[in-house]
Amino acid sequence: MAKIKAIKAYIASAPQDENTAQLLAYIADIEKDIKGKKYGLVFEEHREAIDEILEQNTPVLTEEKDLFIDNGGQMNFLIEGDNLAALQLLEKTHKGKIDLIYIDPPYNTGNKDFIYDDRFIDNSDNFRHSKWLSFMKKRLSIAKKLLSDDGVIFISIDDNEQAQLKTLCDSVFNEDNFITVFHWEKTQHFGRQKINFYSNCEYVLCYANKLVSTKIKELLVEKINFSLTDAPLYNASNNLKDLIFPCNSIKFNIEDGYYETTESSDYVLLKPVNVKNGTNENELHLQFRSRWAQNTIDEEYRKGTTFWIKSKNFAIRTIYNASKSATVAPKSIIFSNLKNPFVAINRFGEKVGVNENASMELNNIVKTDAFSYPKPTSLISYLISLYYDYHINNFKTDFTVLDFFAGSGTTGHAVMKLNAEDGGKRKFILCTNNENNICRDVTYERIKRVIERDKYEASLKYFKVDFVPISDKLYYEYADELLKHTRELVELENGITFNGNAEIAIVLTEKELDEFAANMPDKCKTIYLGHDVLPSVEQESLFKARGIAVNIIPDYYYRELEG
Residue pair 288/235 in contact (Cβ under 8 Å)? The answer is: no
Q: pLDDT tens digits, residue range 258-310?
A: 998 776 778 999 999 999 988 999 999 999 999 899 998 988 888 777 888 88
321/545: higher pLDDT: 545
**Residue 509, CA atoms < 13 Å, CB-side half-sphere:** 8
∠ CA 409-557-149, nearest 5°, is 65
As a whole number, mean pLDDT of residues 64-74 equals 95
Nearest to 102 by CA among 29, 35, 182: 182
- Exposed (0-12), middle (13-18) or buried (19+): which is 201, by Cβ within 10 Å? middle
* Cα-based angle 543, 546, 547 (whole degrees, multiple of 5): 85
Edge to edge, the sheet with strand 201-208 lists 57-63, 458-469, 74-80, 427-432, 400-403, 98-103, 147-157, 201-208, 178-185, 333-334
| C-alpha span between 42 and 356 (Å, rounded) | 39
Q: Distance between CA 186 and CA 463 in Å, rounded? A: 33
285: Cβ–Cβ under 8 A, 6 or more apart, which residues? 242, 243, 244, 269, 270, 271, 273
The pLDDT score that the predictor gives to residue 354 is 41
d(CA 538, CA 531): 18
The whole-number pLDDT of residue 345 equals 39
Predicted confidence at residue 508, as pLDDT, reads: 93
At 129, the pLDDT band (50, 70, 90 cuts) reads confident
Residues 6+ apart with CB under 8 A from 464: 61, 62, 63, 64, 79, 80, 81
Residue 378 and residue 335 in contact, taking contact as beta carbons nearer than 8 Å: no
Helix or strand run (H / E) with residue 269:
strand 268-269
Question: Is pTM beyond 0.85 here?
Answer: no
200, pLDDT greater than 60: yes
pLDDT digits 0-9 by tens, 410-454: 999 999 999 999 899 999 999 999 988 999 999 999 999 999 999
Secondary structure class of 203 (helix, strand, coil): strand
Contact 136, 165 (CB under 8 A): yes
Nearest to 485 by CA among 553, 417, 413: 553
Alpha carbon distance 179, 212 (integer Å): 11
Confidence of residue 325 (pLDDT cuts 50, 70, 90): low
Looking at residue 448, what is its pLDDT? 96
The pLDDT value given to residue 341? 30
What is the phi/psi pair of residue 5, to 5°?
A: -60, -40
Of 392 and 132, the one with more pLDDT:
132
* pLDDT band for position 378 (cuts 50, 70, 90): confident
Q: What are the residues facing 395 on neighbouring strands?
A: 388
Strands (E) in 491-546, as ranges, are 504-507, 526-529
Q: Is the pLDDT score of 349 beyond 50?
A: no
High-pLDDT (> 90) share of the chain, %: 51
241-268: b or e for each residue (b if 16 or more CB lie within 10 Å)?
bebebeeebbbbeeeeeebeebeeeebe
Looking only at the bridges linking them, the beta strands covering 458-469 and 57-63 are antiparallel
Return the pLDDT at 563: 61
The pLDDT value given to residue 214: 57
Segment 385-405 shows an average pLDDT of 91
Higher pLDDT, 204 or 35: 204
Does position 226 have pLDDT exceeding 60, yes or no?
A: no
Identify the weakest region by mean pLDDT among 211-215, 246-250, 383-387: 211-215
Give the pLDDT confidence score for residue 342 in this predicted structure: 29
Lowest mean pLDDT across 73-82, 152-161, 304-313, 352-361: 352-361
Q: What confidence score (pLDDT) does residue 346 get?
A: 42
Residue 353 pLDDT: 43
Q: Which amino acid is at 142?
A: I
- Return the closest-CA partner of residue 273 out of 256, 254, 258, 287: 258
Q: Which amino acid is at 484?
A: K
Q: Give Cα separations from 158 to 161, 174, 182 (angstroms).
A: 6, 21, 11
Distance of alpha carbon 157 from alpha carbon 536, whole angstroms: 56
- DSSP structure string for 363-405: HTTS---S-SSPPPHHHHHHHHHTBEETTTTEE--S-EEEESS
Pairwise pLDDT comparison (418 vs 19), residue with the higher score: 418
Query: DSSP string covering 158-199, please?
Result: -TTTHHHHHHHHIIIIIGGGEEEEEEEE--SSS-EEETTEEE
Specify the higher pLDDT residue, 78 or 369.
Answer: 78
